[in-house]
A and B are shown apart, each in its own frame.
Chain A
Amino acid sequence: MNLLEVGGLTKRFGANAAVDGLSFAISQGRCMALLGPNGAGKTTTLKMLSGLLEPSSGTIRFIGEARADIRESIGYLPQYPSFFNWMSGKEFLEFTAKLARIPAKEAASRAKELLERVGLKDAAKRKISGYSGGMKQRLGLAQAVIHRPKLLILDEPVSALDPQGRREVMELLKEMKRETTILFSTHILHDAEEISDDVMIMDRGHIVVEGDLQQLMRDHGKPQIRIKVGNADPAWVQGLRDRPFVREFEFALGLITLQVTNLHEARESLFREFVDQGLEIEGFEMGQTTLEDLFMKAVQA
């Protein structure tokens, strides 16, 4: 069932359309990654969905939501969250909870529960000005889910963090995924592959590819073999081009990448050649083209 339906969403700044006629839907309980190069319109799209920015045209419809203010159903974490640094983490969460119309008593218990969950229990009474980047991001996540939103919108939630901070936030997102629908933007493709069910790739304000991640990988993913050879004979390497099972051939930095029609057949044939020619194989990897390949292809097209 769809939670959110977006039709013809457009945002113009002057003559320039940052987001141009976006139409898509988010299903309830799914986690959707919004991908795209810088300037693709990701942040603008998320700001419009969270009610911070007014679309130039188009519709945003929450299904089964009678509330006048869509902000009640949405949790939002901006790309560069900024807090009231003179507040403590606990004060800030209680403040945002009350802003989301949670009664004072419940706000306090909800803040306490979330501080513990995002690992800020010990820092709860410290001023936010003394928090590290990772702690601020986790506090940002806590404020976004404090009113149990139907849709959690996160703008580049892990981009600015160090590897450890990234790990922590990713683990939290995996947990939250079980409770709510998530839409997050990222330019780290690995993160999208790790937690999202659906992906949407944007470029210059348009959607280029959209759909179920697994389905996309099946449709767009092609069987692929990578070979690293120590003593490669250039003539043999170039000759691989003409094998019947090779669809695409690439040779760079001593690494041969072959897109093949049939993995099984290709492997049989290649292994025989390795033995016959006495090649020193240093690496051999079979798999599918990745999201990164899909991304590069989609964005360059």
Chain B
Amino acid sequence: MSTWLLLFRKEMLESTRNYKWIWIPLVFLLLGISNPVTTYFMPQILESSGVAADLVPVPTSVEIMAKSLSQYGTLGLLILALSFMGIVAAERQSGSAIMVLVKPVSHRSYILAKWSGMTVLTLAAVGLGQLGTWYYTNILFESVPFRLVWTSLLVYALWLLFINTITLFLSCLMKSVGGIAFISLGVAAVLAILTQVLDHTMKWSPSRLTGAASQILLSGQGGGDMWLAIALTIAFIAALLAGSVTASRRMWTKS
């Protein structure tokens, strides 16, 4: 069995044993479901508090689904950063990583296994969340074609994977796990703000993917710059992974 696969299975088993496989998808599912459900009951909620319900426009199905996506980008991203901040740093700190790296294991397999573990878990969590949203939106409102659901989901997930990779990179580089989560979320926030403010110059920004994903839902098309942002985000992820491998190796062999 290849070392990568062995380490990947260890990551999967670990996140099962420490219940990350339960509660991360659960948080995303709750985020996803709560959105169409609260929207559906919003008129009643407003009426009971004395506001005329017809003052608030009823959102369309696709708008509800786009709003769910943006929730994964705030609360969801926070959960991801907090659960992955120690993915390399904590093992290095505790010394358990020595037990792996003293065997003939390359830093590349070690890091790629970590990344794959994060990716599978993240995709499963957003996938589940968005399926929940879709299910309740279809029941309570008009139905949305599945093609729009999965394409927008994939585009949005790429943004989450990009931030995950930053967390992984920082985890290879830094000791303080709190700092790792803080900087990851900081990068996400700054990128999002800059992209909005400097709309024309930031066509390459990974944070454009969030807007593109909403566009897919609302209009069926991600917009002309979407492919540029996708290509560049994938390139950024690859570069960050290469950087993580180098950082991990340096961290061990130099100090």
Partners in one complex: yes
Inter-chain contacts of A13 with B (CB < 8 A)? 255
A131 to B154, CA, bound (A): 44
Residues 76-89 of B, flagged 1 when their CB comes within 8 A of A and 0 if not, give 00000000000000
When the two chains form their complex, are residues B103 and A71 in contact, meaning their CB atoms are under 8 A apart? yes
In the complex, the answer to whether A99 meets B95 with C-beta atoms within 8 Å is no
**Cross-chain contact B98 with A52 (CB below 8 angstroms):** yes
Question: Per a CB cutoff under 8 Å, which of A53, A76, A95 touches B6?
Answer: A95
A72 surroundings in chain B (CB, below 8 A): 104
B3 at the interface (CB under 8 A from A): yes
Interface residues in A67-81 by Cβ distance below 8 A to B read: 69, 71-72, 74, 76, 78, 80-81
* B residues less than 8 Å from A78 (CB atoms): 95, 98-99, 102
Give Cα A96 to B101, complex, Å. Answer: 10
Q: Do A51 and B102 have beta carbons less than 8 Å apart?
A: yes
Q: Which residues of A contact B94 (CB under 8 A)?
A: 82
Instruction: Please tell me if A22 contacts chain B, counting CB pairs below 8 Å.
Output: no
- Contacting pair A99 B3 (CB below 8 A): yes
In the complex, B18 has a CB within 8 A of chain A: yes
Kindly list chain A residues whose C-beta atoms are within 8 Å of the C-beta of B1.
98, 104
Distance (whole angstroms) from the CB of A83 to the closest CB of chain B: 6
Tell me the complex Cα distance, A83–B98, Å: 9
Whether, in the assembled complex, A259 has its beta carbon less than 8 Å from a beta carbon of chain B, the answer is no
Residues B102-137 near A (CB distance < 8 A): 102-105
8 Å CB contact of A71 from B17, B95, B104: B104
Partner of B96, one of A51, A84, A101: A84
Nearest B residue to A51, CB-CB? B102
Within B210-255, the residues touching A (CB, 8 Å) are: 252-255
Residues of B within 8 A of A99 (CB): 3, 6-7, 100, 103-105
Minimum distance in angstroms from A297 CB to a CB of chain B: 34
A96 contacts across to B, CB distance below 8 A: 99, 103
User: CA A83 – CA B95 in complex, angstroms?
Assistant: 8
Q: Is the CB of A50 closer than 8 A to any CB of chain B?
A: yes
**Interface residue? B47 (CB, 8 A):** no
Supply 14 A–B pairs (Cβ within 8 Å), ascending by A.
A52-B252, A53-B253, A54-B253, A54-B254, A78-B95, A78-B99, A81-B99, A82-B94, A82-B95, A82-B98, A98-B6, A99-B103, A100-B104, A104-B1
With A53-B254, A78-B95, A82-B96 given, name 16 new contacts (CB 8 A): A51-B102, A52-B102, A54-B253, A69-B104, A71-B103, A71-B105, A72-B104, A78-B99, A81-B98, A82-B95, A82-B99, A84-B96, A86-B17, A98-B1, A104-B1, A143-B99
